[in-house]
Structure 1
Amino acid sequence: MPRMSARVFAFVLADDAEHYSAQELAQGLRVSPAAISGAVRHLVRIGLLGREREPGARQDTFRVYDDDVWYAITMQRREALDRSVRFLGEGVDLLDQARPGGRRVRETLEYYRFMRAELPETMRRWKERRRELFGDEIAPDAVGSHG
């Protein structure tokens, strides 16, 4: 992740506000609005931040959408895993498995298949662990909202 995108995401994650204008992000991070513009565009594109505009407002605001941000982010990555499996499957079909490159692509495909298959159980276990750690601190609709 680019450095400024990482800084913006860390700021939004650690600060207490629910949403931020680009100006608030620039002030909070002590950087130029231009630096924020590129960073939030990247973060919105990859799904780490959401962009909103209140009715009648003249500027967008940015926020993390989910109370269980890491669950939401991980589940968004399922689509990327699925695309990778399809793409790598095509590569495996084209490459000679007896050659090192073909073996590496096949291993990568099997890794992604494994990760995709393990994801639902891992996320179920995360929800349990999160409930154990934070109990009543979790908003009631956050626990089952992405399941």
Structure 2
Amino acid sequence: MRFVEQFALLLTDSGMPRMSARVFAYVLADDADRYTAQELSTGLRVSPAAISGAVRHLVRIGLLGREREPGARSDTYRVYDDDVWYAITMQRQDALDRSIRFLGEGVELLDQARPGARRVRETLEYYRFMRAELPAAMQRWRVRHDELFANPLGTPNQ
């Protein structure tokens, strides 16, 4: 629990709401594959209402998946992928593309001689650069991931 709380603080410092950060850190660090809202509530020692808002937020932003087993009466929540950060980053490509389109329109509308237009153009070019670099970076990560975690015993392959 100490790690969960410390990681949640880090996520909160990065802008994530506190309860969402706590839930995500718990699901990431704990051993189960899936959690009901009640299990999250018990594990984090918080009210079910606090869990409800947090999981709704985490599902909406793509950090948790919500599922329901056939015949079950309650939803379960889980990290979608064994390589969660890869999956999250790949989901963010659409957001980068939307940002690039929006910023491109902004550059067209703004007076290029003004400082604000320069800053918007710089932001656009940064997003374009990051978007162009993302596929190669993610491919390098897949290779590195496989080097580190392909061993079935869970020890790094080195």
- The reply to whether TM is greater than 0.5 is yes
For each residue in 1:53-78, what CA deviation from the matched residue of structure 2 results, as whole angstroms up to 9, or x when unmatched?
Answer: 01111100000011111110000000
Candidates 37, 46, 49, aligned match of 1:34 = 49
> Runs of 5+ in structure 1 lacking a partner?
139-147
The equivalent of 2:27 in structure 1 is 12
Deviation at 1:135, TM superposition (A): 2.5
Q: Which has the higher contact order (CA 8 A, sep 6+)?
A: 1
Matches of 2:57 and 2:104 in 1, distance apart? 28
Helix, strand or coil at the partner of 1:136: coil
Change in CA separation of 1:12 and 1:90 when aligned onto 2, cut-off 3 Å: same
Dislocated runs of 4+, deviation >4 Å: none
User: What code does the residue aligned with 2:107 have?
Assistant: V
Matches of 2:70 and 2:149 in 1, distance apart? 34
The equivalent of 2:93 in structure 1 is 78
CA root-mean-square deviation: 1.4
Change in CA separation of 1:94 and 1:137 when aligned onto 2, cut-off 3 Å: farther
Deviation at 1:91, TM superposition (A): 0.5
Matches of 2:144 and 2:66 in 1, distance apart? 30
Task: Give the number of equivalent residue pairs.
Answer: 139
TM-score, normalised with respect to structure 1: 0.91
